[in-house]
Structure 1
């Protein structure tokens, strides 16, 4: 008996006929899923659909660093240092911090060897002392792995989006890139403000393109061998996997246009847009699936934000829980042992391909309108994201999307929280450009909660 002759492949048409018969549907269109990106996904895919799309081997290492996010604002240098040391001793292999003001940085990093751990440090122009103090550390590679580990980011476009104005001028702010040996793109605000996956990808690509254009014009692009992307990962499991895979493909394609080669480092962090203080331990479930999406999507480094952030002051418990989620996935589930876990999945490959197409078309539209910064200055990007956020929020209000403990099965004795401990959005100032702010779907329901 010849196995392949006895068991013939089932065609897509045969699958459709069987599905329609079993589910008593008149058309396969009834089972299609329309994603927020406007992408239509079939209820099944097989080899026939797989053969219709181009394939690109992403070729990234399956391993990832467990990176502890430590909110530096409102904490003293001594507290920051203590949390860093506890995190590294507790299983983290990297740290992620943000500084938007001057600090005693030598105290923050006392007894910390930055070149030997992954360090993802974001600063503003008010915290430039950190870059100059640790310039030699930032520039050197890890002597053992021969890779860049220390990333000190100052991303002028991100700061422009966050505060609604340039520190000085666009040209002057961009010149800070000459102090760096990598190109920083902090894309977290797109997701946190409400953009859907295709918008996120398009804006991130346009964000990077602004820097590539600038450095090319200054004839300095050849000096930059590293690109570091910070991006948020949400709760739509396969969407987020496909998004990260699509991001790497899109960046590689963009670099080819510049005939430039650079190492692409993607740092993924769990998002805040779907988190709530209502029945707060449900956030642990949300961050678990988000972290798995980041792993399967091929992120190089991953941060699980504490389940009670930004609602409560971080504690040893919440930091440990955030670390342990990734430690279990890495050290007990061995999710870091397989290269391209989702490669060959008919569904994920097709979804990735469609996201690439949707995002690239959006990116081309942005470039035809003079680029990302021009659209930000005219509040067009902000308007697009607001429409996306409102459409997603409407689904939660109508119970078409579910947040357990928030709009479904709320805790009967949940008390309304008077304030959020960490204020992530800057103090309101009047600017012509609308800042991109952190938003959460649950706020709508939290504001309706009464103290019991």
Structure 2
């Protein structure tokens, strides 16, 4: 009988590896030479070993089969055109549709005609309960993503005012069965404005805690149905005291953007699940689950050698998949400077189809399990995010910190630090500050204004505004 392949080799301890590394360095400082400090405050080591491995208890994906779904975002300014695009996307590989609805005037009958009962995410840019009731009558199994705090942080104002928005939000949560109405936390603006991964995760915790604290704190007066919906033993088997005592399921929707640091992003999505469960446990919601929707960030995309955006979105989608995101909707490489077009949408969708059907990234539920490096990153991100979260809570909570400008200032500082690295070439964007492509010069005009838009208006707080990293460099190179 043959011996196992590696039995003839003696195991090498972590200490032995470090000693060998020190010898090879020939006197150079180990920490200064090989340990890399990240903006997240994490020191990345050159070696991660079984001797010091970190065990991670990772909650499952929000999908039933631990699979991930390919979705496509459709802007619904015109109901008939949007319906046609949605049906075409579903016929050509999409497994779900994300409907971006700008106003309540859209004709739902036309928009939703022949669309499947499940796999439809609705992202209204307004808050109209009558519209949501009508939507429910057409598609009771759709998933509505509505986040009043995201509205406040990204625009500087509530939909109406803080009290009214929370009252309507409570009514929304209690009035519909199933996943039609869930708490949604949208963290995309934090990341795209320059927040580090630890900040993004911490702000997610503080953002979610505002909702849980509002609806679950027994020391406050709450609508009984809303309280019961979030205070039972299991959030997945909630009984809302309504006339029919219907059984319903609830979870946390997390809408995110994917950053450029491949391994850090894998760890980030794992940390999202752990933090959700941790926060739920603190409120007695021991089975609190989440459903993560991810799309590549605009943060590192550029007009300069714009075809490189295809490479960026591919690796970003990979990291979200491997990290455990439930739904991925890809960002077309030209989304921020071309009007929506069939070519860009088809390429974006096909990138995901290749990852799923040819790279088989849906065959293993948690591909990163047991990876010493990613487990260590996940643990450190989780711990550092909780530290920041606790600081925010001591200061009065997330909304209070927005009023005081603390969150905006912290993100601005991180944004400035990253831009400084880009300017000094310590942060590389291929085609931008490294290997520029002279054959793809900038144009005088684009179909869509590709730069940050500033609209003067009166706001309650300074909005957290997304801005691409390459914008300043692009503006300096624009043809006159």
* Cα deviation digits, residues 200-230 of structure 1 (max 9, x gap): 0000111111111111142524425221100
Question: Residues 216 and 12 (structure 1 numbering): CA distance in 2 closer, same or farther, change over 3 Å?
Answer: same
Residue pair 1:210, 1:371 contacting (<8 A) in 2 also? yes
State how far apart, in whole Å, the 2-side matches of 1:344 and 1:25 are.
Answer: 33
Post-superposition shift, 1:293?
A: 0.4
Pairs aligned (count): 438
Q: Which residue of 2 aligns with 1:396?
A: 422
Q: Deviations over 1:374-397 (max 9, x none)?
A: 001111100100100111111111
Q: Mark the CA change 1:450 to 1:166 in structure 2 (over 3 Å): closer, same or farther.
A: closer
Q: Distance in 2 between matches of 1:97 and 1:188?
A: 17
| Partner residue, 1:146 | none
TM superposition shift of 1:340: 1.1
Counterpart secondary structure, 2:215: helix
| Distance (whole Å) between structure 1 residues aligned to residue 276 and residue 472 of structure 2 | 36
**Distance 1:425-1:79 versus aligned 2 partners, 3 A rule:** farther
For the residues of structure 1 that align with 2:96 and 2:478, how far apart are their CA atoms? 40
1:167 maps to: 159
Structure 1: segments with no counterpart, 5+ residues:
141-149
Contact 1:20 1:28 in 2 (8 A): yes
Which residue number corresponds to residue 332 of structure 2?
A: 306
Aligned 8 A contact 2:70 2:329 in 1: yes
CA separation of 1:386/1:169 partners in 2, compared to 1, >3 Å: closer, same or farther? same
Check conservation: 1:291, 1:304, Cα contact below 8 A. yes
| Cα separation, partners in 2 of 1:425 and 1:222, compared to 1, 3 Å | farther
Kindly indicate whether the alpha-carbon contact (under 8 Å) linking 1:12 and 1:48 is maintained by their aligned counterparts in 2. Answer: yes
CA shift for structure 1 position 249: 0.3
Instruction: Decide which of 275, 279, 284 is 2:301's aligned counterpart.
Output: 275
Which residue in the other structure is 1:55 paired with? 56
8 Å CA contact 1:138–1:152 kept in 2: the answer is no
Q: 2:48 aligned to 39, 45, 49, which one?
A: 45
1:65–1:300 Cα contact (<8 Å) kept: yes
Contact 2:108 2:135 in 1 (8 A): no
Matched, 1:106 2:99: no
Match in the other structure for 2:253 = 228
Q: 1:66 aligns with which of 64, 70, 89?
A: 70
- Secondary structure of 1:115's aligned partner: coil
Gaps of 5+ in 2: 174-180, 231-249
CA contact (8 A) 1:212 1:221 kept: no
Cα deviations by residue, 1:288-345 (Å, 9 ceiling, x for unpaired): 0000000000001111111101210011110011100110011111100102100100
Kept after mapping to 2: 8 A contact 1:100/1:127: no
| TM-fit CA distance, 1:54 | 4.3
Compute the displacement of 1:11 (Å). 1.1
SS of residue paired to 1:447: helix
1:251 aligns with 2:276: yes
Deviation at 1:22, TM superposition (A): 3.4
Where in structure 2 are the equivalents of 1:21-420 lying within 5 Å? 21-24=23-26, 26-29=28-31, 30-50=33-53, 53-60=54-61, 61-72=65-76, 75-106=77-108, 109-116=111-118, 118-125=119-126, 129-137=130-138, 139-140=140-141, 150-177=142-169, 178-180=171-173, 181-217=181-217, 218=222, 219=224, 220-223=226-229, 225-260=250-285, 261-413=287-439, 414-419=441-446
RMSD across aligned positions (CA): 2.1
Give the 3 Å change call, closer, same or farther, for CA 207–105 of structure 1 in structure 2: farther
Equivalent-residue separation in structure 2 for 1:226 and 1:251 (angstroms): 10
Residues 215 and 425 (structure 1 numbering): CA distance in 2 closer, same or farther, change over 3 Å?
Answer: farther
Q: In structure 1, what is the Cα distance between the partners aligned to 2:397 and 2:447?
A: 36
Displacement, 1:33? 1.1
Q: Matched residues in 2 for 1:233 and 1:406: separation?
A: 20
**Cα drift, residue 23 of structure 1:** 4.6
Offset at 1:101? 2.2
What's the TM-score, normalizing by structure 2? 0.86
| Residue 152 (structure 1) shift | 1.2
Q: Deviations over 1:151-195 (max 9, x none)?
A: 112211011112101222212101222213311111111101110
